[in-house]
Structure 1
Amino acid sequence: MGKLYVIGVGPGDPELLTLKAVRIIKESPVICVPKGREEGSSLALSIVERAVPLDGKEIIEAHFPMRKTKKQGQGASGKWQERQGAEEKDELNNKWNEIAETILNRLRKGSDVAFLTLGDPAIYSTFYYLYDKLNTLHPGLNTEILPGVSSITSSAASAKISLGLADEKIAILPANYMGDLRSALETFDTVVLMKVHKVFDEVVKLLDEMDLLDRAAYISRAGMDDEKVFHNIRDAGPEDLNYFSMVIVKK
């Protein structure tokens, strides 16, 4: 039975790959990479390809269809959404099982598999959905998880911001938790808001209301070649907003 390695490849700069990550990738005959869309390319794979020769390795591109179901409505519309949610849940479950079986097939043949994931595997990584499936199908699976540089720490480094000193409190929130943001900003010394592109205007409005605009930095595509850092969040325009975006508020 082979061994499964889960490798955090960092936010985008191949030079941020750890020495151990490079070694394990070189030694693994099978590389598994996640993709958000079937027709798209894997960012994690593109990072590694700039640092490690992958000639002769089997590359498994795993499409992870991440769909979310909104809160159910009432009446006929709500019932339709409920049915749609159940269908999507079944589709997702089938896809997770398919990917898990593909990986287990290679492991059972004695091949080590390196599963690549952006940033650090412990922070909002798709892999942990798959990890549950793998352990259900094969309890006691030999797995090693290699940490990587997260987009959070990469953003803080680029903006030259300390996330926490002494007994300061830190909060990390995905942007879809806008309802919790005011409370977090009131309670914590540092607040990191991830994937803010869809709610950027609402974030700026709230920061203005709380007199925190001057304490907020906006970072776009941290660690990538086209990274942008705005120490004054007011300077960020619509063209600077994208999925890989982050706001750090340091009081």
Structure 2
Amino acid sequence: MTNKLGTLYGVSLGPGDPGLITRRAWQLLSGSGHWTYPVRKKNGDSYALDIALRAGLALPAAHTPLLFPMTHDSGILARYWLEAAQTVLARLQRGEDVLFLVEGDASTYSTFGHLQRSVRALQPDVPVEIVPGVSSFHAAAARCGEPLADVDDTIAIVPAGYGIAQIERMLADFDTLVLLKVKPLLDDIIELLRRRDLLAQGWFVEKAGAPEERMVHDLASLQGETVNYLSLLIIKNPGRQRGEMQRGCRKKKETPDD
């Protein structure tokens, strides 16, 4: 048995378009590392794995799905995180590199962070490399043709689960607001945007870059609809942007010429 530990890689694949896979991720996926990927239920599909397969990469004969159920029960989650960490660590201890496939970016609201912490809780000296990737909100903004931020604009990127009160507060504080995982609160968010006269200032994007991608600018049309878990909203606050621009113009005028 080798004493050298393998490396755990968080391999970011982008939000859905295989063309957004980086050269570094492609290099690793074309190598000898053992593929692991998240599934939400036993024998279920993996969105991250699907991105790699649609890119034309061949699934290795040996590969391991890791089960992470959709639940907020911390006790249940802890058990599955431990099982996944033990499965991964056994291969790392044999000197194998392990690749964990991640949709989007592995450092942004990703299951990889939980896996990394769980593995290192069992063995702190496990080497880890995170391969950065295109995040869903960057891809969504590009598809909508909307800049997320310009010049001195401020931007907030948060899960919609923070709640309507917090979302309303952030609308006053930021020029652009990106809300991730909007499915549970979509109707309430639409009502808030209607009340703030911002319905025309938003984009809804579902599965950005995937074959099933959907973009909706008429946010009111989504009222009452059940949307996919992998969906987000980009909301612009033009009133606040005008104020920032006016302040910037005043500052510029007050600055003496060189």
TM bucket, shorter chain: 0.7 to 0.9
2-structure distance, mates of 1:20, 1:8: 10
2-structure distance, mates of 1:165, 1:118: 27
1-structure distance, mates of 2:60, 2:10: 20
Matched, 1:16 2:20: yes
How far has the Cα of 1:14 moved from its partner? 1.1
TM-score normalised per structure 2: 0.84
2-structure distance, mates of 1:249, 1:129: 29
How far has the Cα of 1:236 moved from its partner? 3.6
Number of the residue aligned with 1:213: 199
Aligned-pair identity (%) = 37
Matched, 1:151 2:155: no
How far has the Cα of 1:180 moved from its partner? 0.5
Structure 1 range deviating more: 118-127 or 233-242: 233-242
Q: How do 1:180-199 residues align onto structure 2 when only pairs under 5 Å count?
A: 180-199=166-185
Matched, 1:29 2:15: no
Q: Against the structure 1 CA distance between its residues 4 and 222, is the aligned structure 2 distance closer, same or farther, given a 3 Å change threshold?
A: same
The residue type equivalent to 1:233 in the other structure is: L
How far has the Cα of 1:240 moved from its partner? 7.1
How far has the Cα of 1:100 moved from its partner? 0.8
Q: How do 1:1-251 residues align onto structure 2 when only pairs under 5 Å count?
A: 1-68=5-72, 88-178=73-163, 179-236=165-222, 241-251=227-237
Secondary structure (helix, strand or coil) at the match of 2:138 reads: helix
How far has the Cα of 1:219 moved from its partner? 1.2
How far has the Cα of 1:29 moved from its partner? 3.3
Q: Against the structure 1 CA distance between its residues 199 and 219, is the aligned structure 2 distance closer, same or farther, given a 3 Å change threshold?
A: same
Q: Which runs of 5+ in 2 are unaligned?
A: 238-258
Aligned residues of 1:220 and 1:240 also touching (Cα < 8 A):
no
Secondary structure (helix, strand or coil) at the match of 1:67 reads: coil
Instruction: Say how many residue pairs are matched.
Output: 232
State the structure with more CA Rg: 2
1-structure distance, mates of 2:53, 2:99: 14
Secondary structure (helix, strand or coil) at the match of 1:62 reads: strand
Aligned residues of 2:159 and 2:179 also touching (Cα < 8 A):
yes
Secondary structure (helix, strand or coil) at the match of 1:241 reads: coil
Q: Against the structure 1 CA distance between its residues 92 and 196, is the aligned structure 2 distance closer, same or farther, given a 3 Å change threshold?
A: closer
Aligned residues of 2:53 and 2:59 also touching (Cα < 8 A):
no
The residue type equivalent to 2:219 in the other structure is: I
Task: Deviation per CA, 1:183-238: give whole Å up to 9, x if none.
Answer: 01111000011122222211111011111111111112211112121223234465
Number of the residue aligned with 1:83: none
The residue type equivalent to 1:246 in the other structure is: L
Aligned residues of 1:25 and 1:52 also touching (Cα < 8 A):
no
Task: Deviation per CA, 1:60-84: give whole Å up to 9, x if none.
Answer: 100012421xxxxxxxxxxxxxxxx
1-structure distance, mates of 2:162, 2:40: 22
How far has the Cα of 1:248 moved from its partner? 0.6
1-structure distance, mates of 2:52, 2:40: 17
Aligned residues of 2:144 and 2:203 also touching (Cα < 8 A):
yes
